[in-house]
Amino acid sequence: METIRFEEASYVKETLILDRATAAFETGKSYLILNDDRRELGLLTAVMTGLETLTSGKLLYNSQDISKNVHTTLLTAEIGTVFQKYNYIPELSAVENLYYYLQVSKKPRKKADCLKYLASFGINGPSAKQPLGQLDLFTQKKYSLAKAVIFSPRLLILDHLLSSMDFHSQEQVMGYLKTLTDEGTCVILLECEQYLGRYTDEVWGMNRGKLSFIKGI
């Protein structure tokens, strides 16, 4: 079953990002999309999550055309995302960031519940209560992943989540992502490093707007 599909999809913002792309990404599988340009990958993330609208063509999510939709609360719950800038307030702690995110998403929880949830990702004690901007990069990324999956999304888009992590940390994160794909989540990694394809079912490449299949398992 397809989770997300491009049909002759084009997107231009100052430069060409997508050029008549047709590609499908399936439920319960993991993908790596490669591109040397971090900006292009960031804009592709914005397109797939509904923050940017295609110039032409179609974007379908669970067979529903969302090409002209703006980002909605429904999509926020169903599509989990880690952005390159992690999308949190660095002056606030992990528990405060998560608490306020859930308030804005109209799915509030008590701070004690937020603490318990973050602890399941290894963010506990001082690391849960210190400003996120003062913590190490791996903890910041763990928080961003915890936030992205809190609503059990069907589609998970991770923009440079693994970059700058050491091998052991990458193995930890991909082990967790494997449990999500086993449960039916579609996971898409957007990265610059081709070797990360060893963790995924398929590898795709982007070059001058062209989205092309490279290899599968």
23-46 residue pLDDT tens: 999 999 999 999 988 888 888 888
Average pLDDT over the chain, rounded to an integer: 89
With a cut of 70, say whether residue 126 has pLDDT above it: yes
Residues 6+ apart with CB under 8 A from 79: 48, 49, 50, 61, 153, 154, 155, 156, 157
Type of residue found at 185: T
With a cut of 80, say whether residue 200 has pLDDT above it: yes
pLDDT computed for residue 52 by the predictor: 85
Rounded to 5°, the CA angle 37-43-44 comes to 90
pLDDT in tens, 133-161: 999 989 999 999 999 999 999 999 999 99
- Tell me if the domain spanning 2-89+153-216 has CATH number 3.40.50.300: yes
pLDDT in tens, 107-121: 899 999 999 999 999
Type of residue found at 193: E
Type of residue found at 122: G
Annotated domain spans of the chain: 2-89+153-216
With a cut of 80, say whether residue 73 has pLDDT above it: no
Cα–Cα distance between 147 and 80 in angstroms, integer? 8
DSSP state for residue 193 in the 8-state scheme = -
Helices assigned H by DSSP within 37-136: 38-48, 73-78, 94-104, 111-119, 126-129
CB atoms within 10 A of CB 202: 19
For 21, phi then psi, to 5°, come to: -75, 135
Sign, CA torsion 26/30/176/72? negative
